[in-house]
């Protein structure tokens, strides 16, 4: 087969065959197809899209580049995945919490993608934490403590490992086809019984509108069902960051606060809701209210944080070692009114500009930088109030971030429309 012919076919709006998809994906994973050809194909898919059959074939082709994980116990295997947002730290809490419910949570996560943060980058802000567990290390950890969070590897969906990195720096992230294949290849390779998907919509998500998020949720759920996984999706509002912290080390700090029963209530409530759907999905709770009560009990007893400490220790992390935090600079309101708009794209770009995300594949990131959101949408502000605190030691970068942040927020006289933090997604609707 000739890669340029396959790329041109998709560029012109054609439907790719299973053999063509497999050819491109398998050669890319092996290193026989250069980045520039895969980037061209990703851009053609981004522009032209794929139908559901092509998306399933792309997902399967990606899974086939590695091995699937094995069951290590009789416990049901579950996970959640988010489509990407700002301040989205729910995985750090949800993995250990579901492990407290006698479930196995083999979580394969990603790094920062586009303007959104990545669970692996956050966890690596903990000194010593390893996100490159071998299959046998992850199996041992899973049988001992019921959860791990690691990255795609050379043996576990290697195609996603490479393609994810490539999409991050080639403007090819916000595609229903590519997001579905990326997420579902990892989740199917985890050999799951149940999966909950947090499909984000809004200015800080890849897909800005509810209809687009519904299209993605539908594609993800169809793919889960096809693989025999009980799959549920929530659509959650990403018109502002989740919680107060946006960054890497500072999001670990906030997750720990939540696990200790403190921290922003919305972070806890969304995490609990996502986890409750999993409990109901595998029959560990008769209904959502029983599930929420069980989860609340694990949090209140301190068991969730204990399990998190065990997971971190198993993966080489030292929670007692200081996590880096940049110097704080306040960005203040210059008028009174209501905070009516937060442009998530610009907010995310401000973190990248300070080195908290990547502009080139493989770049090292600075875990110390971040933002502390002091005001939420719809809250009143007065001149001199801190809207957001910038965490960064480099004055030049702070100024770059300040420009983006000032542009990203609006204060007006009218209180804005408020959205529910999440809504359920009905795949049949
Ligand atoms: N999360 C993923 O794993 N992949 C995507 O493409 C988007 C979010």
In a domain, 177, yes or no: yes
Specify whether 167 is catalytic.
yes
Q: What percentage of the chain reaches a pLDDT higher than 90?
A: 92
Provide the domain limits for residue 23. Answer: 3-49
pTM (whole model) above 0.75:
yes
In a domain, 384, yes or no: yes
354 and 301 in a single domain? The answer is no
Which residue has the CA at smallest separation from atom 6 of ligand 1? Answer: 179
pLDDT band at 338 (very low <50, low <70, confident <90, very high): very high
297 and 333 in a single domain? The answer is no
Mean pLDDT of the chain: 95
In a domain, 428, yes or no: no
In a domain, 423, yes or no: no
178 and 253 in a single domain? The answer is yes
Specify whether 368 is catalytic.
no
Best probe residue, ligand 1, of 179, 187, 189, 207 (max atoms within 8 Å of C-beta): 179
257 and 170 in a single domain? The answer is yes
150 and 298 in a single domain? The answer is yes
Per residue, the 3-state secondary structure of the chain, as one string, reads: CCHHHHHHHHHCCCCCCHHHHHHHHHHHHHCCCCHHHHHHHHHHHHHHCCCHHHHHHHHHHHHCCCCCCCCCCCCCEEEEEECCCCCCCHHHHHHHHHHCCCCEEEEEECCCECCECCHHHHHCCCCCCCCCCCHHHHHHHHHHHCEEEEECCCCCCHHHHHHHHHHHCCCCCCCHHHHHHHHHHHHHHCCCCEEEEEEEECCCCCCCCHHHHHHHHHHHHHHHHHCCCEEEEEEEECCCCCCCEEECHHHHHHHHHHHCCCCCHHHHHHHHHHHHHHHHHCCCCCCHHHHHHHHHHHHHCCHHHHHHHHHHHHCCCCCCCCCCCCCEEEEECCCCEEEEEECHHHHHHHHHHCCCCCCCCCCCCCCCCEEEECCCCCCEECCCCEEEEEECCCHHHHHHHHHHHHHHEEEECCCCCCCCCEEECCCCC
305 and 340 in a single domain? The answer is no
Write the CATH number for 355: 3.90.1170.30
Q: Which atom of ligand 1 is nearest to the CA of 109?
A: 3
In a domain, 322, yes or no: no
Q: Is the pLDDT of residue 113 over 90?
A: no
**Domains: count for the chain:** 3
User: What is the tens place of the pLDDT at every residue in 20-58?
Assistant: 999 999 999 999 999 999 999 999 999 999 999 999 999
- Ligand 1 pocket list (CB less than 6 A): 83-84, 110, 113, 164, 178-179, 182-183
242 and 180 in a single domain? The answer is yes
Measured in Å, residue 182 CA sits from the centre of ligand 1 at 6
Q: Which atom of ligand 1 is nearest to the CA of 167?
A: 6
309 and 339 in a single domain? The answer is no
Which residue has the CA at smallest separation from atom 3 of ligand 1? Answer: 183
173 and 85 in a single domain? The answer is yes
User: What is the tens place of the pLDDT at every residue in 140-186?
Assistant: 999 999 999 999 888 889 999 899 899 988 999 999 999 999 999 99
Specify whether 81 is catalytic.
yes
Which residue has the CA at smallest separation from atom 8 of ligand 1? Answer: 83
User: What is the pLDDT at residue 428?
Assistant: 78
Write the CATH number for 42: 1.20.970.10
Question: What's the mean pLDDT in 400-420?
Answer: 94
């Amino acid at each position: 087969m000739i890669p340029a012919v396959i790329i041109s076919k998709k560029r012109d709006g054609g439907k790719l065959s299973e053999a063509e998809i497999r050819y491109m994906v398998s050669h890319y994973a092996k290193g026989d197809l250069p980045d520039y050809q895969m980037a061209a194909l990703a851009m053609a898919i981004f522009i032209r899209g794929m139908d559901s059959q092509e998306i399933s074939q792309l997902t399967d082709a990606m899974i086939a580049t590695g091995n699937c994980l094995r069951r290590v116990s009789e416990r049901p295997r579950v996970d959640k995945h988010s489509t990407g947002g700002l301040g989205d730290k729910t995985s750090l809490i949800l993995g250990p919490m579901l492990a407290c419910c006698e479930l196995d949570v083999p979580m394969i996560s990603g790094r920062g993608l586009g303007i959104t943060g990545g669970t692996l980058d956050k966890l690596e802000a903990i000194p010593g934490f390893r996100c490159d567990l071998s299959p046998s290390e992850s199996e041992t950890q899973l049988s001992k403590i019921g959860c791990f969070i690691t990255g795609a590897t050379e043996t576990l969906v290697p195609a996603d490992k490479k393609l994810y990195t490539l999409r991050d720096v080639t403007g090819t992230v916000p595609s229903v086809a590519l997001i579905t294949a990326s997420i579902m290849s990892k989740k199917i390779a985890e050999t799951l019984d149940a999966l909950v998907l947090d499909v984000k919509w809004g200015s800080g998500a890849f897909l800005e509108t509810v209809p687009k998020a519904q299209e993605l949720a539908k594609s993800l759920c169809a793919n889960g069902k096809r693989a025999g996984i009980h799959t549920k999706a929530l659509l959650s509002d990403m018109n502002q960051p989740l919680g107060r912290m946006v960054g890497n080390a500072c999001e670990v700090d906030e997750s720990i606060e939540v696990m200790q029963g403190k921290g922003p209530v919305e972070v806890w409530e969304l995490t609990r809701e996502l986890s409750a759907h999993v409990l109901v999905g595998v029959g560990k709770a008769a209904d959502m209210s029983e599930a929420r009560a069980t989860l609340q009990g694990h949090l209140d007893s301190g068991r969730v944080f204990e399990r998190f400490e065990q997971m971190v220790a198993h993966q080489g992390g030292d929670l007692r070692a200081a996590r880096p935090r940049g110097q704080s600079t306040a960005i203040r309101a210059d008028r009174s009114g209501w905070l009516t708009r937060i442009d998530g794209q610009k907010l995310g770009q401000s973190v990248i500009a300070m080195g908290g995300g990547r502009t080139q594949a493989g770049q090292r990131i600075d875990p110390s930088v971040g933002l502390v959101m002091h005001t939420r949408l719809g809250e009143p502000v007065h001149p001199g109030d801190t809207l957001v605190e910038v965490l960064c030691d480099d004055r030049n970068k702070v100024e770059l971030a300040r420009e983006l942040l000032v542009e990203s927020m609006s204060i007006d006289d009218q209180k804005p429309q408020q959205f529910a933090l999440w809504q359920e997604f009905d795949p049949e609707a």
